Each structure stands twice: as structure tokens, then as C-alpha cells.
Amino acid sequence: MWLWLLALLGLWLLRRWHRERQTVPGLEEKFVLITGCDSGFGNLLARQLDARGLRVLAGCLTESGAARLRAAASSRLQTVLLDVTSSSSIAAAAAWVQERVGQRGLWGLVNNAGIANPTAPNEWLRKEDFMAVLNVNLVGLIEVTVSVLPLLRRARGRVVNVASMMGRLSGFGGGYCPSKFGVEAFSDSLRLEMRHFGVKVSVIEPGFFKTGITNAASLEKSVLKIWERLPDETKASYGDKYWQGFLASMQAADRSCNPNLSLVTDCMEHALTSRYPRCRYAIGWDARLFFIPLSYMPSAISDAFFTQFYPKPAQRG
């Protein structure tokens, strides 16, 4: 009995291995729009796809970031200034993309732009602190996608949305985790809607990778600024040691991040070039062996895990 089950599992894995190594033809004529290409995953992916021969349209927030990317890539790669929190910027970029792709349509969209700060306990934050992150990671992602969806339908192309393991488990306060939960939900509904149009939607779920969005210096400055504006009653309830401990735990998590970004960009490339892309790509041993299993466990267990990293407040109920 067990031998039959192992044989079936082996055949299934062999079939999956064979399917996932089949690539779409004509990659050299396909256009891919990537957001957030100034640094991190987006920058590396843009250079990686350019080296493979695809026609990369790289959205950068700053002209300096765009110039650095152009200098590191071939003449095929083109850049456009794109602020995903600005509707006018998104509309202008969509029109720019339309001019370049023409009737061929847009083969791929990689929604990579993202931020993590402000990050702090929820009670310390204002509405605008949450919105600062949500506008980039979720609202901007949705608006960019909708603006180029007709071009993606024309090409029967691909949408690749960057979520996180924190889109399955919420381990800290602020807008980052809610935004990534939202990315998961939006991607699921879009995948169902686009199924009959031939557009495939994939979600990238990295574990902890060192991308720079949780820079220790900027995190410390942000948390200290938030702490200083809190009412005296709130400060007394938490105590000075709490914000110091919170900051230390976030910095420790940042130090443990995997620096090998190519593990993530390789999955993005697969989602864009494979005939049979996956719906979800969980990346990193921490994601596959720890966070995904933890997400299926009772909340009491995941709560107990995350609570051990939280400092104790000065006053407890």
C-alpha cells in the first residue's frame, strides 16, 4: 500500500517537474512592466529579465534610480517614473506602456513596489500611518493592475503580485500585514475573473529577505518619532522598555533576513515565462518549513509563538 502511494507521489512530482520546465515561446518579443525597480527585488528582476531578452518596462520612483538601472542594463530596457500612490502618475505610465506595446499587448505585470514603515504597535498609529503603507502596497497595486488590464487581456498575459508570509500570519502592527492580506485576496479574485481571458495570476510569498524596506536606521527613527507623539497615559501603560524592546525585536528580524534575493526573482521569472506557472510561490526555508505550517495551526499556537517576541508592557490588565 505504502509503495503504491510513494509511486503515485513520485509520478506526480515527475509530471510537475516536467510541466514547470516548459517555457512560453517568443520571449524576446514580450513586454513586462515591473513596479518598484529602484532597488530590491524589482531592480534585480528587471536586470534578470533584460539579460534573458525580454523587453522590460521598469517603473522607478526616482530619476536617479532609473538612471542607475539603465546604466546596468541593455538598451532594450526602458524606464518610466511611476509613483503608485498617484493616480495621475499611474495614468501617465499606463499611456506610456500602451504606446510601446501597441496591439501586441502587455505580456507581464509584476506588482513589486512596497514599503513597511511606519511599523509600530497598532494603538500607537494614526489612520494616516496605516494609509501610507496601504496606499503603496495594496491600493496602488490594485490601481496599477486595473489600468493595464486591457493590455494584459490582449496578450493573454501574466500578473505577478508580491505578497509575503505576513499575508498569511500577522506578526506585528501597522499597515504592512493588512496590506499583504489584501494582496492575497485581490489576487484570488482577479485569478478567477481572468481565467476565461487566458490571463494567469500568481502570488509571490517570500519569507524574510533583506530588501532594504526595513532599514534599521529608518525604522529606529520612525518608531522613536511615533513614541514621542503618544499621550502620557499611553506611554505610562507601555513604558520606555516596551518601545526599546519592540525596536530590538524588529532589528533582530531584519538581521536574520536572507540576502539571496535571486531566490525570489527566479520565482517571479518562472511565473512570467513558464507555460504552467504556479498560483502561489512560497520562497525561503522559513516560509516553507515554518510559516506555512504555522498558518494552518490553531491561533493559540501562532499567538504563543509571536507573543514571545513582544516585550512586556509596564502596566497589564
Task: Tell which phi-psi region holds residue 156, choosing left (phi > 0), alpha (psi between -120 and 50) or beta.
Answer: left
- Bridge partner list, 158: 108, 200
- Distance from C-alpha of 168 to C-alpha of 105, rounded to nearest angstrom: 33
Contacts (Cβ under 8 Å, ≥6 apart) of 115:
132, 133, 136, 137, 176, 213
Query: Which are the catalytic amino acids?
Result: 176
Confirm if 111 and 160 have CB atoms less than 8 A apart. yes
Confirm if 6 and 83 have CB atoms less than 8 A apart. no
Q: Which residues of 16-36 are buried (b: 16+ CB within 10 A; e: fewer)?
A: eeeeeeeeeeebeebbbbbbb
Residue type, 188: D
Q: Which of 300, 307, 167, 175 minimizes the C-alpha distance to 245?
A: 307
